[in-house]
Amino acid sequence: MLDGKKTLFSGMQATGNLTLGNYLGALKNWVTISDEYQTFFSVVDMHSITVRQDPAELRKRARMLLTLYIAAGLDPEKNCIYYQSHVSGHAELSWILSCFTYMGELSRMTQFKDKAAKHADNINAGLFTYPVLMAADILLYQADVVPVGIDQMQHLELTRDIAFRFNNIYGDVFTVPEAYIGKAGAKIMSLQEPKKKMSKSDENPNGSIYLMDDPDTVIRKFKRAVTDSEASVRYRDEQPGIKNLIDIYCACTGKTPQETEREFDGKGYGDFKMAVGEAVVSVLKPLQDRYKDLSGNKDYLDGIIKANAEKAQYLSNKTLRKVQKKIGFPEKIR
Ligand code: ATP
Ligand code: LTN
């Protein structure tokens, strides 16, 4: 608890271009609830290298992501927005926590299984211990709340288990965090394969809406979205494509699925897809405009990056010192 507020931590990987799924499932919720908490929003570039990255590209994407956090509405004076790799405590705590995490637990992680299947030529140890680094991110700041999309729930459960385990041995060292899953947009599916989540690392660009897509591209992708032959806008599991479009429409307009069904009662998929496309464009346009303004302002961004990394380093050190002491590392002579 800092400044009488509870603490919130979240992060995104600097891999690929952010999608509408990342925005509706995570970033948008961050903005909505950030005022109520002392917040840390990290660009988790250390997680990104579990998959091979081009160095120049990673650097560029990390900066893009950090800028997007701000463009989406997170005030960097109030929210600690920083690069994970600028704060040494993440790696240090991760090592310690890896000695409190079982191989069996890590082998059960579905993200690991998915990514291992996808990158069979590079199943590195970092990919396996990825969730431990994520636990370190969260526990380092004693976060109470972690807003993520529903696909990250399993990692959050593991984080809680590690925290409980550690606290049981050493006393109340870590706050045990809760996940925060937003109501609308918890899991946005691919426009081409509505049973698969929309993902920034998807090879088919038509399945994903990227936050930087221009209006024509957005409309075109929605027109091509895979639906079904029922020809009725109904919110039901048997129509996964339409259900996903309704979820997107609701997340962008604030309407409920029932209101949407009524609004498009008797209308064809063409009209509905157009309306969803327009709703998305009206959400993306202001974000893209702010992004353009910000990315031209190098000095401002550099100032934010420096100040927030220092703040995160300072605050995370408190937890790290406590942990090191508890487990019996010798104290540094100062
Ligand atoms: P990758 O495809 O590279 O694994 P990703 O698109 O799944 O990436 P992450 O960086 O792993 O994105 O996730 C960032 C945040 O966005 C997480 O909180 C995650 O839960 C959320 N998120 C990702 N995809 C979706 C989606 N399709 N619907 C809702 N939330 C999502
Ligand atoms: N694994 C997360 C990204 C992430 C994260 C975190 C999210 C890394 N560390 C800490 C919340 C809290 C993902 O979204 N793929």
From the CA of 207, how far away is ligand 1's center (Å)?
A: 14
CA distances from residue 239 to 143, 226, 234, 235 in whole angstroms, order as listed: 38, 10, 8, 7
> Ligand 1, atom 15: nearest CA belongs to which residue?
22
pLDDT (0 to 100) of residue 182: 79
Low-confidence ranges of the chain (pLDDT < 50): none
CATH fold of 205-292 reads Tyrosyl-Transfer RNA Synthetase (1.10.240)
Greatest Cα-to-Cα distance within the chain, rounded to the nearest angstrom? 76
Q: What is the DSSP string of 215-260?
A: HHHHHHHHHT----SS-S----TT-HHHHHHHHHHHHHH---HHHH
- Measured from the Cα of 9, ligand 2's closest atom is 12
Catalytic member of 187, 200, 255, 322: 200
Q: How far apart are the first and last CA of the chain?
A: 28
Which CB contacts under 8 angstroms, 24+ apart, belong to 102-109?
105/158, 105/161, 106/131, 106/132, 108/154, 109/154, 109/155, 109/158
Q: Which residues contact 304 (CB under 8 A, 6 or more apart)?
A: 70, 76, 81
pLDDT recorded at residue 203: 86
Mutate which of 109, 134, 188 for ligand 2 pocket (most atoms within 8 A of beta carbon): 134
Q: How much is the pLDDT for 185?
A: 62
109 CA from centroid of ligand 2 (Å): 14
What are the domain boundaries of the chain? 7-180+298-327, 205-292
* Nearest bound ligand to the CA of residue 20: 1
CATH number of 7-180+298-327: 3.40.50.620
3-state secondary structure of 162: helix
